[in-house]
A and B are shown apart, each in its own frame.
Chain A
Amino acid sequence: MVKIRTVLGDKDPADMGHILPHEHTFFHLLGAPSDPAAVFDREKAVEEGATQFKAIGDEFGISGLVDWAPYDLGRDMGLMVELSRVSGWDIVACTGIFGAWGYPAYWEAQSLDAIEDFFTREIEEGAVDEGVRCGIIKVGTRLQPHEHPTAPDAPLDQLISERDRPVLEAAAHVQARLGVPIGTHTDSHDWPFGNVGLAHIDTLINAGADPEKCVIGHVSQTTNVGHVLEVLERGCYVAFDTIGIQTVVSDRTNAAMVAGLLGLGYQDRILLSHDLYMKEIGRPAKSGPVAEEDHAPDYGHIQRTFLPWLREAGVSEETIHQVTVENPKRAFAW
């Protein structure tokens, strides 16, 4: 029987409700724990987080999320376990390597075998941190500025760096053995150079992954519907998972794309999420990832604002239920 692996143990998908497929809770960049200004009250953080979850649960019926922070994005198993216990939300933790905002030097120097062993152990035995088991593999790619192609419509092999490609392949190998789902981060800076989502899914499939167990993330950071269609044609999930972050693509544009793709019959392959977090540990950065104020106001933003636009566009309640409730449960079960 298939299960969804949460931080509190494996669950039957039938026992689960509405899970947001790509969010964060607490995260930090590598090195943040060294900062005295990054010290925080853990109990209070859990309490505040659980209060937020419960309010969203009461108002919109949402009851869980997948936290897409692997170790190098500050995954903190102790906090997630507590948050899940106190709020009652199902939380799925991820293994993997993010790497897009600073690479974990240790893993950069390790062999593909060692990386596969790392992912496998975090899934089967649990992370070193608290022994909690992971339910998906998250991998990210991002071209460094000096790696950028010199023109748009670059060949797919120029869209993934030589450092990131082996990590995608390692994830595919582990999936081929265990069946665990894979979720990817495509970078908003890379989409202008070509179809980085297609580069992801083709790399994964060529390394042995099953497209039906792969989620290509952040397709909501391109306005190129043609690129998204090409990715969908591979049979994988695509995630419009930055709803509320309008620095690259507006929510209205994303709604139009989603409505259009639903019209074409892709309702069993689309996921919606916010890529939101509760708390970034440490001082705000002078430069770096998306600023807090540029995110959705809370985990209910899709229900409150985005779905009404889909309804106006004629999307049925059944399809909305399919996209928001059934698809995440199917995508993350293995």
Chain B
Amino acid sequence: MPKIRTVLGDKDPAEVGHILPHEHTYVRLIAAESDHASRFDREQAVEEGAAMLKAVTAEQGVSGLVDCAPYDLGRDMGLLVGLSRASGWDIVASTGIFGAWGYPAYWEGQSDASIEEFFTREIEEGAVDEGVKCGIIKIATRLRPHEKPSGFVASRDQLLSDQDSRVLRAAARVQAKLGVPITTHTDRRDWRLGNVGLEQIETLITAGADPQRCIIGHASHTSNLGYIIEVLEQGCYVAFDTIGIEVVVTDRAKAAMVIGLIGLGYEKQILLSHDLHVKEIGREPESGPTVGIRFAPDYGYIQRVFVQWLREGGVSEEAIRQITVENPKRVLAW
């Protein structure tokens, strides 16, 4: 029987409610824990986080999330377990490698086989950190500035770096063995150069992944609907998972895209989420990818604001339920 692997154990999808498929809770960049200014009261952090989550449940019925931070984005299993217990939310933790904002040097130097074994052990035996098991593999790709082709359009083989490609393929091979879902980060800067989502899903499929167990994330960072349809045609899920972050595409434009895609019959492949976090550990950064980014006000924003626009756009309650409740449960179960 398929299960959803949460930080408190495996659950029958039938017993799981509305899970937000791409969020964060506590995040930090590599090495933040070395900073004296990063110290925080863990109990208080869990308490405040749980209060945020419970308020959203009371108002909107949301009852879980996938935390898309693997180890190198500051995943902290102790906090996740505490938060899940205190809030009653189902939380799915990620293995994988993020790497988009600074690569974990150790894993960059390791072989494909070591990386596969790392993902496998974090899923089957649990992470070194507290022994908690992961329920999804998160992989990111991002071209470094010097890797970007000059000009506006890249050829397809320029859209993924060699390092990022090999980690995508490692994830695909682990999925082929275990069945665990894969979720990706496409970088907003890379969409300008070409269809990086298509490049990701084709790389995954070629390496043995099942598109029906793959989520191409941050499709909501392009307004090129043609690209998104090409990705959907591969049979995978596409996540409009930056609702509330309007740095590239406004939420109204995202709503228009989602309405259009549902109209064309893709309602079983669309996911909605906020990419929000409870707390970033450490000082405010001076530079880097998160500076100046505004997020949704809370984890209920999609239900409160975005879904209303879909209703106005004629999307049925059934389709809304499909994309917000059924799709996450289906893709997370393995």
Contact = CB atoms under 8 A, between A and B. Distances in A.
A61 interface: no
A103 B29 CA distance: 11
A28 B101 CA distance: 20
Residue from A30, A39, A103, A146 whose CB has the most chain B CB atoms within 10 Å: A30
B111 A286 contact: yes
B284 to A, nearest CB: 9
A30 B287 contact: no
Interface in A20-41: 28-39
B118 A106 contact: no
Nearest to A286: B111
Contact of B102 (A103, A110, A147): A103
A109 B287 contact: yes
A111 B325 CA distance: 42
B314 interface: no
A37 B102 CA distance: 22
Given A35-B118, A118-B36, A127-B34, A102 B108 contact: yes
Contact of A72 (B31, B72, B111, B121): B31
Contact of B72 (A34, A129, A288): A34
B286 A286 contact: no
A29 B109 contact: yes
A128 B39 contact: yes
B43 interface: no
Interface residues of B, number: 42
Contact of B288 (A39, A109, A285): A109
A111 B36 CA distance: 15
B114 interface: yes
Nearest to B70: A34
A144 interface: yes
B230 interface: no
Nearest to B129: A34
Contact of B36 (A32, A107, A128, A282): A128
A72 B33 CA distance: 11
A33 B35 CA distance: 18
A102 B31 contact: no
A110 B72 CA distance: 18
Contact of A287 (B31, B33, B109, B117): B109
